[in-house]
Amino acid sequence: MEFFAPAKINLSLRVLGRRADGFHDLESLMCPVSLGDTLEVTRRAAGGLEFVCDDPTLPTGEDNLVVRAARLFCRTRGIEPHVRIALTKHIPHGAGLGGGSSDAATTLLALDRLHETRLARDTLAALAAEIGSDVPFFIYESAAVIRGRGERVEPVAFPHALPLLLIKPPFGVPTPWAYSRWKDAREIPGVPYATQTFPWGGLVNDLERPVFEKYIFLADLKAWLLAQPEAVGALMSGSGATVFAVLRDKESAAPLGARATEEFGPDLWLCACETLG
């Protein structure tokens, strides 16, 4: 069986404060998008868990989130693993697009279907929360408001297929570092941080402040996108390093992407996609 593991963007991300457990309380509107990885999950007659990935830079051992999710599911359900999982990657690393979290959540959903255990979403989300903060969001296969450290997920209707251009430079941003710098970071004069308001909601990300202080390239990229006629809004997703533009229409992606490459260099990763409600 083949499963789609979508990437996500944060249309809004507010950091409310640091928690006693070291995490931060958040409030964020997150949307899955039409970019995603693919997991092929099949039964394995020989027994055991086999995991392979087409990206040689990813570890495939016990630290991989897919492997952790599969082990957790089988252990909690009292199932001896007899499964092969093949992951095809399209979501880049260190991008703020939730690729690893989506792969882990999709593994839980896939094994639930494969073994016909028919677990409730809330039950799967509780397992997902043991793996990582963003993982529960992907269990619900919906736009959602997330709170707490990410484990409290409220699916919401978002019937807007927003055309997007995702742009990532050839570097990533470590998520723990971004949060550790949030409290003491300052705004850079002239950089646009204010909420961009639309009929469907607002674009704002509190992690732009710490990330832009160190990675000024991302601040320049966002400001440049906001000045382009094809873009109606622009924001960094999650802790970066992806900055996305909300476009006037799908056709705007190609000319905008071409100019971005001319302006910022040929090493940019670009992807035209849209939000999934």
Cis peptide before 227 (omega within 30 of 0): no
Nearest-angstrom CA–CA distance, 218 and 247: 18
- Indicate the burial class of 61 (C-beta count within 10 angstroms; 0-12, 13-18, 19 or more): exposed
* Cα dihedral sign, 43-46-50-54: negative
Contact 85, 51 (CB under 8 A): yes
Contact 66, 107 (CB under 8 A): yes
Catalytic residue among 112, 134, 168, 222: 134
Does residue 122 carry a pLDDT above 90? Answer: yes
What is the predicted pLDDT for the residue at 130?
96
Nearest-angstrom CA–CA distance, 204 and 37: 26
Domains of the chain: 2-155 (3.30.230.10), 163-274 (3.30.70.890)
Give 128-156 pLDDT, tens digit per residue: 999 998 999 999 999 999 999 888 999 99
What is the predicted pLDDT for the residue at 263?
97
Instruction: Give kind and range of the element (H or E) at residue 163.
Output: strand 163-168
Does residue 165 carry a pLDDT above 80? Answer: yes
> In angstroms, what is the C-alpha Rg of the chain?
19
Please say if 25 is a catalytic residue: no
| Residues across the chain | 277
Average pLDDT, the chain: 95
Nearest-angstrom CA–CA distance, 28 and 238: 9
Give 188-238 pLDDT, tens digit per residue: 999 999 999 999 999 999 999 999 999 999 999 999 999 999 999 999 999
* Cα dihedral sign, 255-256-257-261: positive
Q: Dihedrals φ, ψ of 122, to 5°?
A: -60, -35
Nearest-angstrom CA–CA distance, 48 and 82: 5
Please say if 214 is a catalytic residue: no
Q: Which two tokens stand for residue 223?
A: 């400001």
Instruction: Give kind and range of the element (H or E) at residue 109.
Output: helix 99-114
How many angstroms from the chain centroid is the CA of residue 45?
34
Whole-prediction pTM: 0.95
Give 17-54 pLDDT, tens digit per residue: 888 777 888 999 999 999 999 999 999 988 899 999 99
Catalytic residue among 8, 89, 168, 222: 8
Amino acid letter, residue 131: I
What is the predicted pLDDT for the residue at 21?
79
